[in-house]
Amino acid sequence: MESEDHFDDDFLMRVLRDPAELNRSNRQNHVDLCEICRGRLNLYQSIQSFLKSESDFEVPSGWLERMVRLFDAKGLRRDLKEAESYAWLAFDSLLAGAQGIRSTSAQRHLIWESPEFRVDMMVESANRQNVLLIGQLTAKRRTPASESAGAVVEAKVGDSVFSAELNSIGEFVVSVGRLPQNDPIEVLFRLPDRPLLTLLIPF
C-alpha cells in the first residue's frame, strides 16, 4: 500500500464518530488490507473509548484521603515474614506471538518475576482433561534463604487446590486437571522462612 493511500486524520476522526463512514466511502476494504491504517484506527478507537469511560472511574470523594492517612498508621509494614510477595508477569507466549493472533498451541510459556525470584513455567494442555504446570523457581541472588528444598507449590483452580514439592533446583510439575474457563489460576509458593510468593496465570 502506498503511503499516499493512507487515511488522513480527518477521515479517521469521521469514522470514530460514525463507523458506517467506512462502508459509505467504500474504504472498508482498505482497512482490512492496510495494517498501518487499521493500527491507527484501533489506536484512535482505544483513545476515544478511554476518554469516554474515564469519568466512570472517578474515585468517590474521600476514599483517597482515607488511604493517604493509612501511611501514618503504625504496624502496616511491620513483619516482612508475614507478608505476601507478588510476582508480576514478565512474558506470556500468548501475547508474544503474531500480532492479532492468539496462540492455539498446546503449550503456553510464561515467566514471572518477583523481587527475589523468577518463575519460568509451561502450561502443557495437550491433554485437555489433565493440564500440567511444569516449571522452575529460581532465586535471582543465591543466598541460603533462597534454597528451594522443602518448598511447596500450590495451584488453586476454582475451588480445588493442587500441590507438589519443588526439587532441590526448584523444578516442579503440578497436575491441575481441566483448565478454568475464565478464572485465572492462582499459584502460591510456600518457601521455608520466606514470605508467600503468589502469581496468577491469566486466562
Partner 1 sequence: MSFMSGAKQARLPAEQATDQELVAGCLSGDSMSWELLLRRYERLIYSVPVRYKFDIEERQDIFQTVCCEILKNLHALIDLAKLRTWILTITIRQCNHLVRTKYLQRLQDTVESAHDIKDPNADSFEIYLRSEREQLLREVFAELPERCSRVLRMFFLGSTAPGYQEVGRQLGLSPETIGSLRHRCLKKMGHLLESKGFRKPN
Burial of 123: CB neighbours in 10 Å, binned 0-12, 13-18, 19+: buried
Nearer to partner 1, 1 or 64 (CB): 64
Kindly give the pairing relationship between strand 196-201 and strand 84-86. parallel
Contact segment (CB under 8 A) with partner 1 among 22-30, 68-76, 122-130, 143-151 equals 68-76
Nearer to partner 1, 100 or 144 (CB): 100
Q: Is 98 in the site for partner 1 (CB under 8 A)?
A: no
Select the residue interacting with partner 1 from 31, 86, 164, 179 (CB under 8 A).
86
Select the residue interacting with partner 1 from 72, 74, 129, 142 (CB under 8 A).
72
Q: Which residue's C-alpha cell is 480445588?
A: 160
Q: Is 193 in the site for partner 1 (CB under 8 A)?
A: no
- CA 128, 189, 82, 138 torsion-angle sign: negative
Interaction mask 112-141, partner 1, x per CB under 8 A: -xxxx-------------------------
Closest CA to 175 of 162, 156, 185: 162
Cβ contacts of 117 within 8 Å, gap of 6 or more: 87, 137, 138, 139, 140, 146, 189, 197
Q: Is 83 in the site for partner 1 (CB under 8 A)?
A: yes
Distance CA 57, CA 112 (A): 29
Distance CA 148, CA 128 (A): 30
DSSP string, 127-176: STTS-EEEEEEEESS--GGG--TT-EEEEEETTEEEEEE--TTSEEEEE-
Residues 154-173 that bind partner 1 (CB under 8 A): 158-159
Contact segment (CB under 8 A) with partner 1 among 95-103, 119-127, 129-137, 170-178 equals 95-103
Q: Is 195 in the site for partner 1 (CB under 8 A)?
A: yes
CB of 54 to partner 1, least distance (A): 7
User: In Å, how far are 81, 86, 96, 150 from 186, measured between CA atoms?
Assistant: 20, 11, 22, 20
Q: Is 3 in the site for partner 1 (CB under 8 A)?
A: no
Residues that bind partner 1 (CB under 8 A): 9-10, 13-14, 16-17, 39, 42-48, 50-54, 56-60, 63-64, 66-68, 70-72, 76-77, 80, 83-86, 88-90, 95, 99-102, 113-116, 158-159, 181-184, 186, 195, 198-200, 202-203
